[in-house]
Chains A and B, each alone.
Chain A
């Protein structure tokens, strides 16, 4: 309680600090960034694991910090858990780690600037394919059935619909 009051007075008494943060300093697990309301305690583990899967472990380079057994990844994972328990949201935590380790640790790359190509590329490819398909469809109605129709003897096909007739034809090939 005393600490809280002290923190509050400090925050009031130090308006010249560069932070726009309007919360007690000891709540600021990330300097000059204020947390929001903390999540319920039983959800912290799950939230940490989910967020951890979006962050790359900088030393093992293949895996995320939730799944990697390396010391660095464990430490980052613990830090993430602290921050989440302290009430920080995903955006703040991600920014904190990017400041520390660089863009490299984002397994889900930022969708801005040059990177946009990553997100537009597959769509472009799909659009191109669709355009080609449509182009070929234009000719459909023009041409009558070019291929010959081979009918099996009528005594077998009596009472069958087209589909069964085709199956029959396929199956009774020698």
Chain B
């Protein structure tokens, strides 16, 4: 019954998407009101039917309806209900359905965003492109990755008996059941990945419509910020999960699937900055549009890498024949984007009614930068150009390192690996340069500044950076390498530069409007939401770089073999092995090792790293689960290596990582910053042309 209903909903979604996409094209090309209404209706229809299909699958999972193929694959009557809920994305078919559902949410959001009259010309094109993407996913869900297929209970029982699956059902992947972060990390990442379809569609819409008013960049930028915020949080949560579950005491290993999420983040970040240059100065238009399109393509590549099993990594539990289909879709989208940019971007050169005076400097030749407009190196425009170059090279390096082994294997049948040492060699200098630029761009005015003024903008943050570096390393001991020293210096530098860019305007306001500090601060935040949001995101990134640098430089780890009731000393901790305990739950058994920890005579409690055995799981090996406790100053991490059968000894790894906690704190800062920057400003009756303010700093002749 549910199979039929689910199939029906998926088919309806496919029908709505196809019909709506075609109607969107008609409405865009012919300005037909009737066609637009049909497009709009179909978009709603797609959104509700695919969300309905997701809800139905949840219902099937919760009622353990094993006649539904996907439930038969991941369901189990013994796991707690919340694990049943999250098993919606534990396997390939479910995750593609969930992908579609998330796209449904974004389609509905677009329908709401685009109802304003000033977007009339773009709206049909946007839904046309977005629903075309929806067609692909609805096709997948209805064919290769159909989660609603009907399973005969009798033959299922036979199959389960043969494979040794208990009659309560196989249950989802053990790694998914092992930690609460698996309930949060995948949906957040999906909201980031799938959401990139929105800015992509909005950009395509302006190319298809052949015009780009400055007003249109508002929704483009905003709808890049929303998924970018989720992607940022998703990446941090992924690192946290890896740290808390995998037992090696690290958050990031340059695994292909981690890289897959990092590449669109890099490209999206580059877009958000170059979009500012475009909005402010009318520069870098085609470059900005390309970055926005590339971001979506990279998320598709990421979905492909995660879901096709093309890399044998920890994430690719789902081997399937879905890979080629995906690759074809990515290829087609790539060609479409290139053709669109190449053939239609010149149409955007026509006069922009809002930009007024700036039309004359719009990129007529479609080149990377329009001549004569970036007027010197000491301006924010140029700083962002450098930032863009760094991010692009970073994206390219990660892409190259990730795909190179695949290409080599395909072309020469030679198997090699590209791993952490390679990526670190590039990521460390690029990361340091990026954080440095984070303290240069905001400190310089748009256009051009004189060398003397620029120097005075740079000196105080540089002094602060030096003081912070000397302070921290005098306290913690100087490292052997230069990189951590430089990393902390740029963190201090960028922190001060951003703080003074925030408090400078507050002081100026207090002087000019005679407001008290609180009033002035609030006004600066409210009036300059984008500026403030950007600063917050910068603080988040600085915090993450700071935490990762120190937690890595001062990481201490040691393996021990401890007899029962034996004690060892690790760093400043005294650790006693108090024995093992067996813990039995409905869906898993655990062997829990217990360690009593004291430091300078202070009791720090009992640490309980464990081995979890999940019943009915497809993985017969236990999952070694570490125990981590964080304080603002350092993390203590216990990871079991081996518990011999007799339980008389234990082999265990202890890790200490200072300041690790702050790496996770970066996520809410970045998220909040992005949302504040994305929050739409109150509507002004007479929009001030963005060009109004910028050129003042250029007033004086150089």
Is there a chain B Cβ closer than 8 Å to A106's Cβ?
Answer: yes
Q: Check if B527 sits within 8 Å of A173, measured CB to CB.
A: yes
Q: A107-B422, A129-B389, A148-B357 are in contact. Are A121 and B396 (CB under 8 A)?
A: yes
Q: How far is the CA of A19 from the CA of B372 in the complex (A)?
A: 69
Q: Check if B368 sits within 8 Å of A136, measured CB to CB.
A: yes
Q: A109-B418, A114-B408 are in contact. Are A62 and B401 (CB under 8 A)?
A: no
Is there a chain B Cβ closer than 8 Å to A28's Cβ?
Answer: no
Residue of B whose beta carbon sits closest to that of A103: B416
Is there a chain B Cβ closer than 8 Å to A14's Cβ?
Answer: no
Q: A151-B696, A166-B697, A173-B693 are in contact. Are A69 and B504 (CB under 8 A)?
A: no
Interchain CB contact (< 8 A) of A171 among B415, B417, B524: B524
Interface size class of A (residues with CB under 8 A): 35 or more
Q: Check if A126 sits within 8 Å of B389, measured CB to CB.
A: yes
Question: Which residues of B193-252 are within 8 A (CB) of A?
Answer: 247-250
Q: A133-B385, A140-B375, A142-B371 are in contact. Are A69 and B698 (CB under 8 A)?
A: no
Residue of A whose beta carbon sits closest to that of B249: A67
User: How many residues from B make CB contacts under 8 Å with A?
Assistant: 74
Interface string of B372-392 (1 = CB under 8 A from A): 111110000000010001001
Residue of A whose beta carbon sits closest to that of B282: A147
Q: Check if A163 sits within 8 Å of B419, measured CB to CB.
A: no
A44 to chain B, nearest CB (A): 12
Interchain CB contact (< 8 A) of A167 among B250, B253, B370, B508: B508
- Flag the segment in B47-55, B464-472, B684-692 that touches A: B684-692
Residue of A whose beta carbon sits closest to that of B316: A62
Is there a chain B Cβ closer than 8 Å to A6's Cβ?
Answer: no
Residue of A whose beta carbon sits closest to that of B513: A172
A67 to chain B, nearest CB (A): 3
Question: Which residues of A94-152 are within 8 A (CB) of B?
Answer: 102-110, 114-115, 117-118, 121-122, 125-126, 129-130, 132-133, 136-140, 142-143, 145-151
Q: How far is the CA of A68 from the CA of B404 in the complex (A)?
A: 24
Residue of B whose beta carbon sits closest to that of A172: B512
Is there a chain B Cβ closer than 8 Å to A63's Cβ?
Answer: yes
Q: How far is the CA of A151 from the CA of B684 in the complex (A)?
A: 22
Q: How far is the CA of A5 from the CA of B679 in the complex (A)?
A: 81
Interface string of B397-427 (1 = CB under 8 A from A): 1001100100010001011111111100010
Q: Check if A140 sits within 8 Å of B376, measured CB to CB.
A: yes
Residues in chain B near residue A53, CB distance under 8 A: 420-421
Is there a chain A Cβ closer than 8 Å to B120's Cβ?
Answer: no
Q: How far is the CA of A36 from the CA of B104 in the complex (A)?
A: 64
A122 to chain B, nearest CB (A): 4
Residues in chain B near residue A74, CB distance under 8 A: 641
Q: Check if A171 sits within 8 Å of B509, measured CB to CB.
A: yes
Q: Check if A171 sits within 8 Å of B528, measured CB to CB.
A: yes
Residue of A whose beta carbon sits closest to that of B394: A122
Residues in chain A near residue B523, CB distance under 8 A: 171
Residues in chain B near residue A114, CB distance under 8 A: 408, 412
Q: Check if A142 sits within 8 Å of B372, measured CB to CB.
A: yes
Q: Check if B400 sits within 8 Å of A121, measured CB to CB.
A: yes
Q: How far is the CA of A5 from the CA of B400 in the complex (A)?
A: 54
Is there a chain A Cβ closer than 8 Å to B603's Cβ?
Answer: no
Q: What 9 A-B pairs are tightest by C-beta distance, nearest first?
A: A143-B372, A107-B419, A139-B371, A67-B248, A108-B421, A136-B369, A122-B397, A147-B695, A129-B389
Which B residues have a C-beta under 8 Å from some C-beta of A? 247-250, 253, 255, 312-314, 357-358, 360-361, 367-376, 385, 389, 392-393, 396-397, 400-401, 404, 408, 412, 414-422, 426, 445, 449, 453, 504-505, 508-509, 512, 523-524, 527-528, 557-559, 624, 639, 641, 684, 688, 691-700
Which A residues have a C-beta under 8 Å from some C-beta of B? 45, 49, 53-54, 56, 61-64, 66-69, 74, 102-110, 114-115, 117-118, 121-122, 125-126, 129-130, 132-133, 136-140, 142-143, 145-151, 156, 160-174
User: A136-B370, A151-B696 are known contacts; what are 15 more A-B pairs with Cβ within 8 Å?
Assistant: A62-B313, A64-B419, A103-B414, A107-B418, A109-B416, A110-B416, A114-B408, A114-B412, A122-B426, A129-B389, A129-B392, A132-B369, A149-B698, A171-B523, A174-B688
